[in-house]
Every structure is written in structure tokens, then in C-alpha cells.
């Protein structure tokens, strides 16, 4: 018997997930068995997947062929470094989510627990298969499995009309994307009919067909990732889904789309043209700015996070664009810098965004409330969730010393080198794009302060919040694990960059590992310490030392006495919870400054109103600019088609006959 290699372990893990899912169907109503036995088993499998990828990173690719699939095209599977980085992400992040989910699902919420269990584990297994697939057919099967299982998970609470609508929208856009991906694969086979990825790599595409494949892939994977303008499903589907599912979709599933884009752009197409980078970067910048602007004005906590995910996907697209740009001019070290930023941001975002989504899940369970306007002061009742969410908030705002900062720092460093581009106007425009990145990062801070401040701080906006309870032990364990990932990614950048460097080397032929390793684990200096350096540990240690020392000295030389009283508030007498900012009030400056960016319906009371009220409804321009016109055209076209549908079987048989005749005419041998 040959020794067990990594790819076998991963295949066994996928089967184990499926088995766990099926086991849930044996007793679909027994919540205790499913949540406290099966989900922990699933999380153990996740952990094994993560560890396997961790040990694999840096090794030679492993391939295998399964005996299922099409007659001429069995399933080809391959584990290489690019896939392994994302498998690592999938394993470790889903471990935290599964542990959390063990304590999350309650009786009487939506679908039967058994159904949830099989959908959830099918979702995990299909994501793993997407990453391992080595031919177009296996990839599309796994991709569809992922889309369908996540659709079912989104519509868990299918009794609500709004949730069914959100699910439908998600499914629709996922399939538009899937068609585009399929066409992209078709183009890349170059007419040779070999649908394995190895066959695609062997094809030499002309610049025209290469560009066609790239653009189709950008649309297809962009639809899954949430690039503007195909982002509209994200803010609908994320709030609709149960929180662990939102965390999984935002943290992991969006990254499979990034994986697909990287796989096509850097591995399968084979050529790179500089304007691809410009296109990806432009779309990324628009997406990032759009996402962050809308996330600041949301009043629903999960929508806020969904828009923030759009922002992060935008940043990833900018990184990919930059890497493509450098790669096309053969500036491989700089491309490696941008590529490392992309990988790092994938890992960082998966950690902190899952953490934040799970925190909203705990808040949702404790309060049954998603609207920011009815929350507040929860840090007193839920200190664990509040403090762990604070870590996620700092990371998400891209601030040191946590994970989000490292990737933004790497990205900005890559931008600083762009004046070296051998192209007359690019080298001037590209650095200015960094200004947009800076604006996006700073506005993410605004959105995150709003998120944390309104949910957890201040006074409770509703009296029943006093009964809120902190997260249970399972939920807490899952949150702590993700918080630990966020902190580790923040303070050990050099070690982790060394780990994921195999993927960068695979795509670009060169990596940063050598340069980074020179300076030890504590210092991150991707090019040289004179040029730029960042030592998160020293950074953290200094702040912590000052914090403790200042505290000790104040107590030593003065005192630590504290009295409690009513708030001062400039002596203002009314201090009830209604005097605080609402979610809408907090983002008023943004709505005012960026007014043209939003579609707003506002109502202001007049002097004579008996019952005055204010209201503001912020909507997405893209609905009115793009989706509703398309929907109207589709309606109109189907109205025309209705005319030929007489409802009599003889007529339909006639149509079939005519079609057959036409086909025979056209497709003569």
C-alpha cells in the first residue's frame, strides 16, 4: 500500500464531511445529537484539513485521478501550493466556524437540523473540491455544488418572503457567473477539446483569445466574489443566512472566487497583457470605494459587514491588478510583493470577517435584533463578544498590530514601487490610486467604529436588552479561535509569509521568502530594512509596556480611587438612551459629503405635522441603473415569448419538429 499523501488525506476529509452530513439525515430532528456530536466531528475534520495544508505548503504538487466523472474525462485532482494556501484558509477558518456552529443552532429556527447539517458539510466538501479540481468539469461540478448548498443554507429561514428573494437573487447571479466561467474555460481549451487544466496550460492563446478568457473569468469569478456591478447579492444574502453561514460565505467562499481568478490569470492563460492589470485595478478601486461608502451608511449590522466584505474584495482585486501589471512588465519581485499582499489579505479577511459575522450571530441570539437602532450597551452584558469583536474591528479597520494592517501595508509598499513601471502614464496614475486605497482604509475605520460603538457601547437603546446573555462556551471557543488567528496573522507576518511563499513562487517564479527570512521572525522587511520595515511584536510590546507601566506608576505615585456618578454631558439634563446617536445619525456626515453616491429617499417633517417623523432610506444606484432595466427587458422579452405559447400540445410538437428541421439544415455533416 502506498503511503498516505496530503491529497489523499484531503479526499478522505471531503468524504468524511459528506458522511457527517449524511449521518445528520439519519436523525434529522435530533438537534442535540447533530449540534453537539456531528458539528464537533466536522470541526475536527476541518482542523485536519488545515494541518494537512500547513504541512504540504512548499512541497511538490500532487495529482490524482478519480474514477468518476465523464466517460472521456474522469475527475482530475491536484494539490499545489496555490490551492494549499486556500485549503489552509478553508481548514483553519471553518474549524472556528464549525465549533461556533455547534453552539449556535437552536430548536425551531428554520430548516430541520439534519438538513442544515448535510447542506453545511456539503458546502465545506464542495469548497474543498473546487480548490483541488484540476479539470474544467470537476471544477464546475464542485462550483455548482458550492453554489447550490450555499443557496439552501441562505434560505434556511425560507418562510420569510425577503429571505426567499435574497436566495433567488444569489442563485441567479451565481449562475450568470458560472456560465461566464464555463465560457472562459472553453476559450482556454483553444478548441483542442482537452478540458484538463494541464491541457489549458499547454495551449498558446493569441492575445485576443487570452483577453477574452481573462475578461470572462473576471466577470464569472467577480460575480461570486462581489465585484461591482455584480455585487448586489451580497448585502441581501448575508443578512438572510444564519450567522455561521454568513461567516463561511464571506470568509471562505468569496476567497474561492479569488482563487479561481488567480488560477486563471497566472496559471492557465499563460500570457499576461498589461491592461488586464489596469482593468482589474480599476474595478477593484471602484468596488472598494463603493463597498466602504455603503457600509458606513447601513443600519443593519450584517448588511454593514456584507458591504465591508465588498470593500475587501475590491482591495484584493486591486492587489491582483497590481500583480498582473508588474508581472506583465516582468518585474517579478514587485509582482511577488503585490501577490503576497493578496494572499495575506485573503487569510486576514477570512479570519476577522468570520469573527465579526459570528459576533453578530451571538448578538442576534441574545437580543433577536439585527437593526443597529435597537441595540447598544451590550458590552455590559456580553463582555466576551464585545472585546473579541473589538479585535475584529481593529483588524478590519486595517490598523496595527493586527492582521488587516499587514496586508494593507504590503499593498501600499507595492504601490510605492509603481513609478518604476516602464510605461509613460501608468507610472503616474498608479501611485495616485494608492490615495484611494488610503481613503478606503480610513473610511473602513469609520464603519467599524460605527459597528462596534453602536452595538456594544453606550446605553441600551431598548429596555429588553438588559436580558441579553453572553455567548455560550461553544460559541465562545469558536470566537476565541478566530481572534487568535487574527492576532497571530498580525504579529507573525514574516513567519507566515515564509509559509505561503510557495504559492507566490509557483505563480511568479520568485517569492519574498528569502528576503523576509533574512531579518528573522520579528521584523517584516520585504525589500530591505532601509527601505521599509515593520516589527509588530516590538510595536505591541511597547504599547503594552507603556500601558502597564503608566498604570502602575499612576497608582504608585498618586492613587487608583474611582467614584461613580451620573454622566456629566455638559450638565445637560436629559441623558436617556434616545439622546445617543442612532446608526443613521452616526453616518450623517458621510451621507452629506458623498450625497451623489447614494440614492436616498428622505422624509422631513413640516412645521404643521401632528406626528412628525424623520426617515431616510438609502439604496443602491445599481438597482436603478442596471438591474431594473435588465429586469424590464427580460419581462418584455418573455411577454413576447408568451404569445407563441398556446398551451396545446400539438403546437409544441410542431415547434419541436420545426426546430429539428432547422438544426438539420444548419448542421449538415
Peptide bond preceding 229: is omega within 30 degrees of 0, i.e. cis? yes
**Contact (CB, 8 A) for 152 and 119:** yes
Report in angstroms how near the CB of residue 531 gets to another protein at its nearest: 5
| Closer to another protein by Cβ: residue 208 or 558 | 558
Task: For residue 258, report the phi and psi dihedrals to the nearest 5 degrees.
Answer: -65, -40
| Closer to another protein by Cβ: residue 564 or 648 | 564
The gap from C-alpha 15 to its chain's centroid, in whole angstroms, comes to 25
| Closer to another protein by Cβ: residue 363 or 448 | 448
With vertex at residue 296, the alpha carbon angle to CA 92 and CA 301, rounded to the nearest 5 degrees, is 55
* Residues between 139 and 158 that touch another protein (CB under 8 A): none
How far is residue 16's CA from residue 18's CA, in Å, rounded to a whole number? 5
Report in angstroms how near the CB of residue 628 gets to another protein at its nearest: 32
Which DSSP helix (H) or strand (E) runs through 599? Answer: strand 599-603
| Closer to another protein by Cβ: residue 520 or 605 | 520
Residues 290-327 as b/e (b if ≥16 CB within 10 A, e otherwise) read: bbbbbbbbbbbbbbbbbbbbbbbbbbbbbbbbbbbbbb
With the C-alpha atoms ordered 216, 219, 220, 221, is the resulting torsion angle positive or negative? positive
Could you give the string, one character per residue 467-506, with x where binding to another protein holds by CB under 8 A and - elsewhere? Answer: ----------------------------------------
**Contact (CB, 8 A) for 181 and 143:** yes
* Residues between 2 and 41 that touch another protein (CB under 8 A): none
Among residues 219, 366, 441, 507, which is the contact residue for another protein, using CB under 8 A?
A: 441
Report in angstroms how near the CB of residue 516 gets to another protein at its nearest: 14
Among residues 422, 473, 509, 529, which is the contact residue for another protein, using CB under 8 A?
A: 529
Concatenating the DSSP letter of every residue in 42-104 gives HHHHHHHHHHHHHHHTTS--EEEEEEEE-SS-EEEEEE-HHHHHHHHHHHHHHHHHHHHHHHH
Report in angstroms how near the CB of residue 583 gets to another protein at its nearest: 11
| Closer to another protein by Cβ: residue 154 or 366 | 366
Among residues 65, 445, 599, 626, which is the contact residue for another protein, using CB under 8 A?
A: 445
Residues 236-245 as b/e (b if ≥16 CB within 10 A, e otherwise) read: bbbbbbbbbb
| Closer to another protein by Cβ: residue 569 or 619 | 569
Tell me the three state secondary structure of residue 369: coil
With the C-alpha atoms ordered 246, 250, 255, 258, is the resulting torsion angle positive or negative? positive
Report in angstroms how near the CB of residue 36 gets to another protein at its nearest: 32
Could you give the string, one character per residue 506-525, with x where binding to another protein holds by CB under 8 A and - elsewhere? Answer: -----------------x-x
* Residues between 545 and 574 that touch another protein (CB under 8 A): 545-547, 550-551, 554, 557-570, 572
Report in angstroms how near the CB of residue 596 gets to another protein at its nearest: 14
* Residues between 362 and 421 that touch another protein (CB under 8 A): 376-377, 379-380, 383, 386, 390, 393-394, 397-400, 405, 409, 412-413, 416, 419
| Closer to another protein by Cβ: residue 245 or 465 | 465
Report in angstroms how near the CB of residue 379 gets to another protein at its nearest: 5
How far is residue 431's CA from residue 628's CA, in Å, rounded to a whole number? 36
Cell of 268: 492557465
Report in angstroms how near the CB of residue 499 gets to another protein at its nearest: 22
| Closer to another protein by Cβ: residue 547 or 654 | 547
| Closer to another protein by Cβ: residue 176 or 432 | 432
Report in angstroms how near the CB of residue 351 gets to another protein at its nearest: 18
* Residues between 50 and 109 that touch another protein (CB under 8 A): none
Size of the site for another protein (CB under 8 A): 89
Report in angstroms how near the CB of residue 325 gets to another protein at its nearest: 16
Among residues 422, 473, 509, 589, which is the contact residue for another protein, using CB under 8 A?
A: 589
Report in angstroms how near the CB of residue 557 gets to another protein at its nearest: 8
Report in angstroms how near the CB of residue 403 gets to another protein at its nearest: 13
**Contact (CB, 8 A) for 291 and 308:** yes
Q: Does 595 bind another protein (CB under 8 A)?
A: no
| Closer to another protein by Cβ: residue 529 or 605 | 529
| Closer to another protein by Cβ: residue 242 or 401 | 401
Among residues 459, 488, 510, 618, which is the contact residue for another protein, using CB under 8 A?
A: 459
| Closer to another protein by Cβ: residue 546 or 633 | 546
**Contact (CB, 8 A) for 75 and 66:** yes
| Closer to another protein by Cβ: residue 158 or 380 | 380
* Residues between 200 and 259 that touch another protein (CB under 8 A): none
Among residues 15, 172, 179, 579, which is the contact residue for another protein, using CB under 8 A?
A: 579
Concatenating the DSSP letter of every residue in 427-472 gives HHHHHHHHHHHHHHHHHHHHHHHHHHHHHHSSS-SSGGGGG-----
Contacts 24+ apart (CB under 8 A), 7-10: 7/62, 7/63, 7/64, 7/77, 7/78, 7/79, 7/132, 8/64, 9/48, 9/49, 9/52, 10/49, 10/52, 10/53, 10/79, 10/87, 10/128, 10/132
Report in angstroms how near the CB of residue 536 gets to another protein at its nearest: 8
Concatenating the DSSP letter of every residue in 120-132 gives HHHHHHHHHHHHH
Q: CA separation (Å) from 552 to 308, 537, 540?
A: 39, 22, 18
Amino acid at each position: 500500500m502506498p503511503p498516505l499523501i496530503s491529497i489523499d488525506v484531503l479526499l478522505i476529509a471531503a468524504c468524511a464531511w459528506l458522511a457527517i452530513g449524511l449521518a445528520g439525515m439519519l436523525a434529522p430532528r435530533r438537534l442535540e445529537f447533530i449540534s453537539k456530536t456531528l458539528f464537533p466531528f466536522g470541526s475536527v475534520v476541518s482542523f485536519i484539513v488545515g494541518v494537512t495544508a500547513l504541512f504540504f505548503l512548499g512541497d511538490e504538487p500532487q495529482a490524482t485521478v478519480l474514477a468518476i466523472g465523464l466517460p472521456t474525462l474522469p475527475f482530475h485532482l491536484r494539490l499545489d501550493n496555490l490551492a494549499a494556501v486556500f485549503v489552509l484558509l478553508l481548514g483553519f477558518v471553518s474549524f472556528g466556524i464549525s465549533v461556533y456552529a455547534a453552539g449556535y443552532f437552536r430548536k425551531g429556527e428554520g430548516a430541520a437540523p439534519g438538513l442544515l447539517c448535510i447542506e453545511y458539510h456539503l458546502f465545506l466538501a464542495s469548497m474543498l473540491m473546487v480548490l483541488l479540481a484540476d479539470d474544467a468539469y470537476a471544477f464546475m461540478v464542485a462550483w455548482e455544488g458550492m453554489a447550490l448548498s450555499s443557496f439552501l443554507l441562505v434560505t434556511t429561514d425560507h418562510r420569510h418572503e425577503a429571505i426567499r428573494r435574497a436566495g433567488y437573487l444569489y442563485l441567479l447571479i451565481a449562475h450568470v457567473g458560472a456560465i461566464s466561467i464555463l465560457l472562459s474555460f472553453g476559450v482556454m481549451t483553444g478548441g483542442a477539446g482537452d478540458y484538463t487544466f494541464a491541457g489549458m496550460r499547454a495551449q498558446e492563446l493569441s492575445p485576443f483569445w487570452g483577453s477574452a478568457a481573462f475578461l470572462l473569468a473576471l466577470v464569472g469569478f467577480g460575480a461570486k466574489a462581489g465585484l461591482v456591478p455584480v455585487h448586489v447579492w451580497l448585502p441581501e444574502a448575508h443578512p438572510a443566512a444564519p450567522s455561521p453561514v454568513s461567516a463561511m460565505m464571506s470568509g471562505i467562499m468569496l476567497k474561492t472566487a479569488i482563487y479561481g481568478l488567480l488560477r486563471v490569470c497566472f496559471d492557465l492563460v499563460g500570457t499576461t497583457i498589461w491592461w488586464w492589470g489596469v482593468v482589474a485595478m480599476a474595478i477593484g478601486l471602484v468596488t472598494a470605494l463603493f463597498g466602504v461608502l455603503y457600509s458606513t451608511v447601513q443600519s443593519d449590522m450584517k448588511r454593514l459587514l456584507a458591504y465591508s466584505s465588498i470593500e475587501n474584495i475590491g482591495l484584493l482585486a486591486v492587489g491582483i491588478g497590481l500583480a498582473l501589471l508588474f508581472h506583465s512588465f516582468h518585474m517579478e519581485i514587485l509582482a511577488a510583493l503585490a501577490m503576497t499582499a493578496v494572499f495575506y489579505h485573503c487569510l486576514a479577511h477570512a479570519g476577522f470577517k468570520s469573527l465579526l459575522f459570528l459576533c453578530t450571530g451571538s448578538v442576534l441570539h441574545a437580543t433577536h435584533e439585527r437593526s443597529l437602532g435597537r441595540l447598544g450597551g451590550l458590552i455590559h452584558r456580553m463582555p466576551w463578544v464585545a472585546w473579541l469583536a473589538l479585535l475584529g474591528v481593529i483588524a478590519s479597520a486595517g490598523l496595527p498590530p493586527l492582521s488587516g494592517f499587514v496586508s494593507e501595508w504590503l499593498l501600499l509598499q507595492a504601490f510605492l514601487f509603481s513609478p518604476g513601471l516602464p510605461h509613460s502614464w501608468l507610472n503616474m496614475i498608479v501611485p495616485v490610486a494608492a490615495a484611494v486605497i488610503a481613503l478606503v482604509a480610513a473610511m473602513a475605520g469609520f464603519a467599524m467604529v460605527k459597528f462596534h460603538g453602536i452595538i456594544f457601547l453606550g446605553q441600551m437603546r431598548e429596555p429588553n436588552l438588559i436580558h441579553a446573555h453572553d455567548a455560550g462556551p461553544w460559541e465562545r471557543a469558536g470566537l476565541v479561535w478566530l481572534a487568535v488567528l487574527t492576532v497571530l496573522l498580525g504579529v507573525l507576518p514574516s513567519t507566515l509569509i515564509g509559509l505561503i511563499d510557495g504559492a507566490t513562487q509557483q505563480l511568479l517564479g520568485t517569492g519574498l521568502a528569502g528576503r523576509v527570512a533574512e531579518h528573522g521572525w520579528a521584523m517584516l522587511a520585504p525589500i530591505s530594512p532601509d527601505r521599509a520595515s515593520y516589527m509588530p511584536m516590538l510595536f505591541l510590546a511597547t504599547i503594552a509596556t507603556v500601558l502597564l507601566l503608566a498604570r502602575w506608576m499612576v497608582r504608585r505615585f498618586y492613587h487608583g480611587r474611582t467614584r461613580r456618578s451620573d454622566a456629566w454631558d455638559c450638565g445637560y439634563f436629559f441623558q436617556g438612551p434616545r439622546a445617543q446617536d442612532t446608526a443613521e445619525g452616526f453616518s450623517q456626515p458621510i451621507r452629506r459629503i458623498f450625497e451623489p453616491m447614494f440614492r436616498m429617499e428622505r422624509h422631513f417633517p413640516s412645521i404643521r405635522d401632528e406626528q412628525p417623523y424623520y426617515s431616510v432610506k438609502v439604496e443602491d444606484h445599481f438597482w436603478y441603473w442596471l438591474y431594473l432595466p435588465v429586469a424590464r427587458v427580460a419581462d418584455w422579452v418573455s411577454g413576447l415569448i408568451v404569445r407563441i405559447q398556446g398551451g396545446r400540445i400539438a403546437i409544441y410538437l410542431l415547434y419541436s419538429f420545426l426546430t429539428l428541421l432547422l438544426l438539420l439544415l444548419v448542421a449538415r455533416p
